[in-house]
Structure 1
Amino acid sequence: MTVVEIPGSKSVTARALFLAAAADGSTRLRRPLHSDDTEGFAAGLAALGYAVTEDGQDWIVEGRPQGPANDADVYCRDGATTARFLPALAAAGHGEFRFDASAQMRRRPVGPLTEALRELGVVLVHEENEGHHPLRISARGVKGGELTLDAGLSSQYLTALLLLGPLTEQGLRITVTDLVSVPYVEITLAMMRSFGVEVGREGDGKVFVVPPGGYTAVDYPVEPDASTASYVFAAAALTGREVTVPGLGQGALQGDLKFVEVLERMGAEVRIGEDEVTVAGAPGGRLSGITVNMRDISDTMPTLAAFAPFADGPVRIEDVYNTRVKECDRLEACAQNLRAQGIEVETGRDWIEIKPGAPKPVEIATFGDHRIVMSFAVAGLRTPGVTFDDPGCVRKTFPAFHEEFAKLRASWGI
């Protein structure tokens, strides 16, 4: 059995940074993810006047419940959480704030969130394309109240507003008409609870009632990233090996851990303990075809798509339209690369179906997307010679991915 340590969760780290900044007191974040996205988030907080310092692997954040300390121009890099959460944090303060992002992030929508902020009285202007970065906010605090939100493209719109709620004068009552990636919202609610805020649910769970009153600083451990762990689990299933990831288990916050249930349906053995998860591939890496809805775990869609040709029947992944508005159009990126490898693929608006085959070694077009690289690196375990046009884009979430994956391959003699 091979034991692999996975870096901290990107999703949890981003939320923890927001909560720590908004809390009353000093918060220690233990073993957060250190990557381009999370370091960009921390740099954004620093630009807003929050004190973020490193202590070994930990981050210490001095909270400012009253909001940012100064006017600021914040560059969000490629980070969607940075680009969506920090404008909400700034809106709760007082001052003039400008937010911009990379060309990749500028293409990704923020309109549902910024329209909701406007509905709450926030003075906000998109400088170029409506619903996209760059944008300016003239903040005078947020009174709060009721609003309706469509979070069908990204659950991050809802998370940003939930995080904002306790910083408003009256709290928020948010009615959600559509919602994707529900487990990520559950992460948000659980973490808000850890920082002292309990969000109510009404109307069959579609109405979120967020009280005012602010957050309390805590000592917060960041669990390993379940999305990143999906590559290790998939590698074991694909090669017939066994791997254990500590730090994730029955009490894990992250919904992407449900990816192991997909692997189990395909023939792998899965054991989930209190504080570790083990996946053992079937002999020879035998995999069954599958039809699966991945709406709630869509970040792991490329992981499955990349190694799907090795299954003994078609693999059909459904209800993943939101993957078209990620760092790239992930659904189309997977289809394009699989076809380049000689695999028969069909796609629709929100689905992809991949037929069994023997992928050829080609240079994978990454589209600057870290998940495309890591997913096809896993598939490359059975297709020697696969290369990437931009292998370095993994720095977004896992800068040491290639080195750590090489160690895993060496331990398995692949």
Structure 2
Amino acid sequence: MQYIITAPAALNCTVKLPASKSISNRALIINALAGGNTIPENLSDCDDTDVIIKALKDNPKEIDIKAAGTAMRFMTAYLAATEGEHILTGTERMKHRPIAVLVDALRYLGAKIEYLGEEGYPPLRITGRKLWGRELHINGNVSSQFISALLMIGPTLRDKLELHLEGNIISRPYIDLTLWMMKEYGADAEWTDINVITVKPKPYTPRRYYIENDWSAASYWYEMMALNARTEDTVTLTGLMDNSKQGDSIARYLFSLLGVKTTFVKDDNNGPDMVKLKYSGHSVSHLEYDFLNCPDLAQTFVVTCIAKNVTFHFTGLQTLKIKETDRIEALKTEMRKLGYVIEDRDGCELTWDGTLCKAEKDNDLDVAIDTYEDHRMALAFAPMAFTRSYIRINNPHVVTKSYPHYWEHLDNIGVEIEQEE
């Protein structure tokens, strides 16, 4: 299936963003470990969160987490520390996403986990039991989801967990988000040195918990405002906090460099905070940034910069190669199809110096963007319609992984979406 997307002339709207997937998934695991009887409020309705909800509710013998990388990492640790035997599996892509770092760490704490296919990859057979807290050393440059998975089970261990993160620590805001949420549920967990996190065996306390809306989803509306580039238009986004712990909230500062101004507004009826976006008319001509702490924003900024003819040099992208797809190669391939040449270096940097090439088709409007079963490819490329007559997106339904109502929201603001089989 393919969508042909045509943008409206103006962009004036209020958007109810989806709840944060990152917070939802952590809250579900922590709440389950706390023995909470009430599920967190305002949960994300995306695919990744849905598989965790079903796994925790139905407790099936075999759990298929599909393409949800977060769910695979978090559920592996949760099941290892919880009584019962389960098989944890997913899509073919998931069966080629490495998990040995997490499995080795859990085994060191006493977990019983077997590989049912290729060594180091799902599917897994997990026999849950009470685990021991120990001093554990792990590379800081692995996925922060491995680290968060270990931290969240910390309060349930027989002794304290002392986690030493060696070398360069990536995606630190996601680790800090996990620690903050753990403490919200009563855990004793904190940084005790520059690279050491200590979690004491103090049980979680059940509580009501409300999920903030998603800054990652907000980034695509920032992108639309930057590309629409009309100073008279306003976009209002609901449920975003000025003091958010979400790492992707950095988007508001980065987009200020591309001309989008952010204003926080309190709701008159005591509802959630709102953000109002305006285009200032001023943008840098070159952008450099290290995405080590917010890699999920990389696709958004690659597409935005190229569509605005802003050259860039982005670093800290090493985790992009093990996401839903190899995002570095996917970005290079799809941009080349449109006539832009991105260079990569060592699998962790992307650069565009303005170099162009011949588009895949004589009329580049006939080029269709492949999404590689990766929601962020569709989410990030669709706003290019604001700088072109239209853009074609293949397999557009991949957005359900994190933003199920994306196309509906675009339709509501006047974006024309034509479907072709």
**8 Å CA contact 1:92, 1:164 repeated in 2:** yes
Q: Which runs of 5+ in 1 are unaligned?
A: 50-71
Deviation at 1:81, TM superposition (A): 1.6
In the alignment, the residues of structure 2 paired with residue 273 and residue 147 of structure 1 have an alpha-carbon distance, to the nearest angstrom, of 44
In the alignment, the residues of structure 1 paired with residue 414 and residue 95 of structure 2 have an alpha-carbon distance, to the nearest angstrom, of 37
In the alignment, the residues of structure 2 paired with residue 212 and residue 37 of structure 1 have an alpha-carbon distance, to the nearest angstrom, of 29
- Alignment deviations for residues 231-259 of structure 1 (CA, whole Å, 9 cap, x no partner): 01111111124322222132212110101
Candidates 313, 320, 332, aligned match of 2:329? 332
Deviation at 1:152, TM superposition (A): 1.4
Candidates 83, 105, 115, aligned match of 2:72? 83
Candidates 118, 123, 135, aligned match of 1:129? 118
Deviation >6 Å, runs of 4+:
none
Residue 309 of structure 1: aligned partner: 306
- Which structure 2 residues correspond to residues 174-193 of structure 1 after superposition, within 5 A? 174-177=163-166, 178-193=168-183
**8 Å CA contact 2:212, 2:241 repeated in 1:** no
**8 Å CA contact 1:166, 1:214 repeated in 2:** yes
**8 Å CA contact 2:179, 2:190 repeated in 1:** no
In the alignment, the residues of structure 2 paired with residue 307 and residue 43 of structure 1 have an alpha-carbon distance, to the nearest angstrom, of 36
Deviation at 1:116, TM superposition (A): 0.2
Deviation at 1:311, TM superposition (A): 3.2
* Amino acid of the structure 2 residue aligned with 1:323: L
- Which structure 2 residues correspond to residues 93-132 of structure 1 after superposition, within 5 A? 93-132=82-121
User: Is 1:385 aligned to 2:374, yes or no?
Assistant: no
Greater relative contact order (Cα < 8 A, sep 6+): 2
In the alignment, the residues of structure 1 paired with residue 354 and residue 121 of structure 2 have an alpha-carbon distance, to the nearest angstrom, of 39
- Decide whether aligned partners of structure 1 residues 365 and 312 sit closer, same or farther in structure 2, where only a CA change above 3 A counts: closer
Residue 152 of structure 2: aligned partner: 163
- Decide whether aligned partners of structure 1 residues 248 and 326 sit closer, same or farther in structure 2, where only a CA change above 3 A counts: same
In the alignment, the residues of structure 2 paired with residue 408 and residue 245 of structure 1 have an alpha-carbon distance, to the nearest angstrom, of 13
**8 Å CA contact 1:309, 1:357 repeated in 2:** no
User: Is 1:32 aligned to 2:32, yes or no?
Assistant: no
Candidates 11, 16, 19, aligned match of 1:5? 16
Deviation at 1:92, TM superposition (A): 1.4
Larger displacement relative to structure 2 (353-362 or 216-225): 353-362
User: Is 1:269 aligned to 2:261, yes or no?
Assistant: yes
* Amino acid of the structure 2 residue aligned with 1:339: R
- Which structure 2 residues correspond to residues 238-387 of structure 1 after superposition, within 5 A? 238-240=227-229, 241-272=233-264, 275-283=273-281, 288-348=285-345, 349-356=347-354, 360-361=364-365, 362-387=367-392
Larger displacement relative to structure 2 (235-244 or 186-195): 235-244
Residue 140 of structure 1: aligned partner: 129
Residue 218 of structure 1: aligned partner: 207
Larger displacement relative to structure 2 (369-378 or 97-106): 97-106
Residue 64 of structure 1: aligned partner: none
In the alignment, the residues of structure 2 paired with residue 344 and residue 125 of structure 1 have an alpha-carbon distance, to the nearest angstrom, of 44
**8 Å CA contact 1:337, 1:364 repeated in 2:** yes
In the alignment, the residues of structure 1 paired with residue 389 and residue 284 of structure 2 have an alpha-carbon distance, to the nearest angstrom, of 19
* Amino acid of the structure 2 residue aligned with 1:2: C
- Decide whether aligned partners of structure 1 residues 405 and 112 sit closer, same or farther in structure 2, where only a CA change above 3 A counts: same
**8 Å CA contact 1:123, 1:137 repeated in 2:** yes
Q: Which runs of 5+ in 2 are unaligned?
A: 1-11, 267-272, 417-421
User: Is 1:23 aligned to 2:20, yes or no?
Assistant: no
**8 Å CA contact 1:106, 1:132 repeated in 2:** yes
Give the RMSD, CA atoms, in angstroms: 2.0
In the alignment, the residues of structure 2 paired with residue 183 and residue 10 of structure 1 have an alpha-carbon distance, to the nearest angstrom, of 15
**8 Å CA contact 2:340, 2:355 repeated in 1:** yes
Deviation at 1:162, TM superposition (A): 0.5
* Amino acid of the structure 2 residue aligned with 1:293: D
Residue 3 of structure 2: aligned partner: none
**8 Å CA contact 2:344, 2:351 repeated in 1:** yes
- Decide whether aligned partners of structure 1 residues 169 and 243 sit closer, same or farther in structure 2, where only a CA change above 3 A counts: same
In the alignment, the residues of structure 2 paired with residue 294 and residue 369 of structure 1 have an alpha-carbon distance, to the nearest angstrom, of 19
SS in 2 for 1:175: strand
Calculate percent identity across the aligned residue pairs.
28
SS in 2 for 1:216: coil
Larger displacement relative to structure 2 (304-313 or 319-328): 304-313
**8 Å CA contact 1:76, 1:83 repeated in 2:** yes
**8 Å CA contact 1:9, 1:222 repeated in 2:** yes
In the alignment, the residues of structure 1 paired with residue 153 and residue 207 of structure 2 have an alpha-carbon distance, to the nearest angstrom, of 18
SS in 2 for 1:259: helix
- Alignment deviations for residues 64-97 of structure 1 (CA, whole Å, 9 cap, x no partner): xxxxxxxx22111111121111121111123322
Deviation at 1:342, TM superposition (A): 0.5
In the alignment, the residues of structure 2 paired with residue 24 and residue 370 of structure 1 have an alpha-carbon distance, to the nearest angstrom, of 32
* Amino acid of the structure 2 residue aligned with 1:46: K
* Amino acid of the structure 1 residue aligned with 2:101: P
In the alignment, the residues of structure 2 paired with residue 202 and residue 385 of structure 1 have an alpha-carbon distance, to the nearest angstrom, of 52
SS in 1 for 2:209: strand
- Which structure 2 residues correspond to residues 65-76 of structure 1 after superposition, within 5 A? 72-76=61-65
* Amino acid of the structure 2 residue aligned with 1:384: S
**8 Å CA contact 2:144, 2:170 repeated in 1:** yes
**8 Å CA contact 2:342, 2:352 repeated in 1:** yes
**8 Å CA contact 2:154, 2:160 repeated in 1:** yes
- Alignment deviations for residues 150-182 of structure 1 (CA, whole Å, 9 cap, x no partner): 241310001000101011111311101142211
Residue 419 of structure 2: aligned partner: none
Report the number of matched residues.
Answer: 387
